[in-house]
A and B are shown apart, each in its own frame.
Chain A
Amino acid sequence: GQQVMQIPQYQHVQEGEDFTTYCNSSTTLSNIQWYKQRPGGHPVFLIQLVKSGEVKKQKRLTFQFGEAKKNSSLHITATQTTDVGTYFCAGSRGGSNYKLTFGKGTLLTVNP
């Protein structure tokens, strides 16, 4: 079945450092979504990428979707303590398949 691998599993940074998490799918995706989950909270949608090679920015966050639509990344510039949480990617094959498969997430901790 479809698998979505996400690395690293954990990342600890000093405040102000950059952070990147990577997502790789075993199959071509129609779209990929990114979520953030704060400790004790529920996942919150960040963004959706649909087009091959797409790059989207949200303030200090940059999201990329690979040309082959099998990989994606989330990059945070100059991390802040408010960035702490687990970041998940989730992909779908589309067409008649609406199943959404999540990566296991990357837990980001930020040292002030």
Chain B
Amino acid sequence: EAQVTQNPRYLITVTGKKLTVTCSQNMNHEYMSWYRQDPGLGLRQIYYSMNVEVTDKGDVPEGYKVSRKEKRNFPLILESPSPNQTSLYFCASSLLAGSITDTQYFGPGTRLTVL
């Protein structure tokens, strides 16, 4: 089954404790992306990647890191989480069709709470 998986689905942590949220897709998609969703702010793109070893900043990259060592995986790293990073995080992937992305498939989401 074609899907995007994220782990963990729920995480409660404390300020400053490094964490990684994993994202994996089985559709051989070039484009992968991370978003955060906050009430009243909608979805905001954190980072995206057009292919292995190619990443770029979205609208809200501060406090986050990503890596794309393999095509299927795109982990999101919070080196020193702070309470303002409490949010619902979505990973997504799509094929690239020339200069635009194709249908984006979203993962189920990771609800992160930073105390």
Inter-chain contact count A-B, CB under 8 Å?
68
Q: A99-B58, A100-B33, A104-B40 are in contact. Are A42 and B99 (CB under 8 A)?
A: no
Q: A95-B99, A98-B31, A101-B45 are in contact. Are A33 and B104 (CB under 8 A)?
A: yes
Q: Which residues of A, 30-51, contact B by the 8 Å Cβ criterion?
A: 30-31, 33, 35, 42-45, 48, 50
Interface 1/0s, chain A 85-112, versus B by CB < 8 A? 0001010101110111111110000000
- Whether the pair A103, B99 counts as a contact (CB closer than 8 A) is no
In the complex, whether B105 has a CB less than 8 A from a CB of chain A is yes
* Cα–Cα distance between A110 and B63 once the two chains are bound (Å): 39
* Additional A-B contacts beyond A98-B100, A99-B57 (7; CB < 8 A): A31-B101, A45-B105, A94-B100, A98-B50, A99-B56, A100-B45, A105-B42
The interface residues of chain A, by DSSP majority, are classed as strand
Q: What are 21 A-B interface contacts by the 8 Å CB criterion? A: A30-B99, A35-B104, A42-B108, A43-B43, A43-B92, A48-B100, A88-B42, A88-B43, A94-B99, A95-B99, A98-B50, A99-B48, A99-B56, A99-B59, A101-B45, A102-B35, A102-B42, A102-B44, A103-B42, A104-B41, A105-B43
Contact of A50 among B33, B57, B100, B108 (CB under 8 A): B100
Q: A42-B90, A88-B42 are in contact. Are A98 and B56 (CB under 8 A)?
A: yes
- Whether the pair A92, B100 counts as a contact (CB closer than 8 A) is yes
Bin chain B's interface residue count.
20 to 34
- Whether the pair A98, B90 counts as a contact (CB closer than 8 A) is no
In the complex, whether B109 has a CB less than 8 A from a CB of chain A is yes
B87 → chain A closest CB, angstroms: 14
Q: How many residues of A contact B (CB 8 A)?
A: 26
Q: Which residues of B, 85-115, contact A by the 8 Å Cβ criterion?
A: 90, 92, 96, 99-109
* Cα–Cα distance between A84 and B42 once the two chains are bound (Å): 17
